[in-house]
Structures are given as structure tokens and as C-alpha cells.
């Protein structure tokens, strides 16, 4: 897509610190890292969210995320990392080209990726389970 920042990185129109590339994906440093070494793994084709990525391409992307997580752990980290994917505006997705964040973590780095824990009322867990199952 012409006005997509990540498509323009793929085309080479916007520079990026690329760490990995294969036929279907590229990986580069996030320009505003949560921690230094924070990478983004993206499909070369423009898909907006994870659900838009065809099944036969998603496994390649996850394999690449694993490869990069290992490399980050060996290079800058101590073996700890978060893998985050924001899908949709309400989930905090700002760039509408699907991407997987890989963020190296360090002891006491004070990075907050936590959420408050809600409680289910009686029977609600059963309702949620049944509702989700309907769409599988």
C-alpha cells in the first residue's frame, strides 16, 4: 500500500535497520524501542491484522519471530523477551500493517506490559467458553 510506512520500508523508500529478511518477511529495529534491540517482524505483503494473514504464511512468520527472539536473547538479552502483537485500534495498533514486536527484557527494566485482573461472575466462564467455541 502506497501510504503504508511498513510497505515503504519493504520497498526501500524509508530506511530501516534491517536485521533479517527472507522471501515472505523482514525484521528491523523498532525506531522507538521499548528496550534497545526491540524488533518488528512483518510480512512483506500488506495485511492489516493477524487474521488477514493466510494460514500458509503465518507459520513462516512465527518461525521467524522465534529465530529473532533467539538472536535477541543471545546478543543483548539475558534470555527474557516479550512477544506482542497489537491487532486493531482498540488493541493499540498504530501501524495498520501486521507486525510482531519482539522486546528484550532485563531484570528491573521497569517496562510495563501488565494488565489488571478482572473477575468472572458465576456461570460467566461457561458462557464465554461456549461463545468462543461457536466461532472456532
Q: Which does 30 bind (CB under 5 to 8 A by kind): Zn ion, ligand 5GP, none?
A: ligand 5GP
Residues 74-113 vs Zn ion: string with x where CB under 5 A? -----------------------x----------------
Residues forming a β-bridge with 94: none
Q: Is the CB of 28 or the CB of 77 nearer to ligand 5GP?
A: 28
What is the C-alpha to C-alpha distance for residues 101 and 93, in angstroms, rounded to an integer?
Answer: 11
Residues 71-110 vs ligand 5GP: string with x where CB under 6 A? ---------------x-----xxxx---------------
Looking at 24-32, 47-55, 63-71, 105-113, which segment touches ligand 5GP (CB under 6 A)?
A: 24-32
Instruction: Assess 7 for contact with Zn ion (CB under 5 A).
Output: yes
What is the C-alpha to C-alpha distance for residues 23 and 44, in angstroms, rounded to an integer?
Answer: 8
What is the C-alpha to C-alpha distance for residues 133 and 81, in angstroms, rounded to an integer?
Answer: 30
CA distances to 19, 39, 41, 48, 76 from 1, rounded to whole Å, are 23, 22, 18, 11, 33
- DSSP state, residue 5: H
Q: Which cell is 130 given?
A: 461456549
Q: Please list the active-site residues.
A: 99
Q: Which residues of the chain form contacts with ligand 5GP (CB under 6 A)?
A: 5, 14, 16, 28-32, 86, 92-95
Amino acid at each position: 500500500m502506497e501510504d503504508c510506512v511498513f510497505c515503504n520500508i519493504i520497498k526501500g523508500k524509508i530506511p530501516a535497520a534491517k536485521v533479517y529478511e527472507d522471501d515472505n518477511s523482514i525484521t528491523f529495529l523498532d525506531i522507538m524501542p521499548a528496550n534497545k534491540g526491540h524488533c518488528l517482524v512483518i510480512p512483506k505483503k500488506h495485511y492489516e491484522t493477524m487474521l488477514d494473514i493466510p494460514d500458509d504464511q503465518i507459520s513462516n512468520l512465527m518461525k521467524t519471530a522465534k529465530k529473532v527472539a533467539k538472536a535477541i536473547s543471545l546478543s543483548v538479552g539475558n534470555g527474557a523477551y516479550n512477544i506482542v502483537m497489537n491487532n486493531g485500534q482498540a488493541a493499540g495498533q498504530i501501524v495498520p500493517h501486521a507486525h510482531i514486536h519482539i522486546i528484550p527484557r532485563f531484570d528491573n527494566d521497569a517496562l510495563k506490559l501488565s494488565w489488571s485482573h478482572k473477575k468472572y461472575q458465576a456461570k460467566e466462564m461457561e458462557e464465554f467458553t461456549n461463545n468462543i467455541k461457536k466461532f472456532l
